[in-house]
Structure 1
Amino acid sequence: MKKKVIWKKWWFWLLIILGIGGVGNLLGLGGTSPSTAGKQTSAPNSARQAKTQGSSTSSH
C-alpha cells in the first residue's frame, strides 16, 4: 500500500498559509504602521478637545 504524500493534502497547505500569516502578524508585517494609526486616532481626539474647550469657555 502506497502512502499519499503530505503536500498533496488540503489541510497541509492550509496549515502552511495560516503559519505564514501568523509569523507575519508576529513580526508586524502588513496592517497599519504605528505612525499611520496615531494620525488616524489623533484627529478625532483633537477635534473633540476643541469642542469641549470651546463650550466650557462660552459657559462662563
Structure 2
Amino acid sequence: MTLDDDARRRAAAQRAHEIAGCGVCDSDGWVTGRQTSRDGITRDAAWRCDHTDRPLPHGFTPDGGVR
C-alpha cells in the first residue's frame, strides 16, 4: 500500500463517518430536493452535504425523505 492509497482510504473512512453522523444528507452524502430560482422556476436539485449547521441555499427545499 502506498502513501496515496493510505490517504485515500483514510479520507473515505472520514467521509463515511461524517455521513453516518449527519442528520441532513442521504447515505451517499447528498441532499436532494427542489430549487426555486429568483425568476420563480422550480427544478429538481441536489447539494453535496458539508455536514455542518450552515443553512441550505436560498430557495432550496429538501425532499421529505431526508434523514
Q: State the TM-score, normalizing by the size of structure 2.
A: 0.34
Q: Which has the larger radius of gyration?
A: 1
Q: State the TM-score, normalizing by the size of structure 1.
A: 0.37
Bigger relative contact order (CA 8 A; separation at least 6)? 2
Give 1 or 2: higher helix fraction.
1
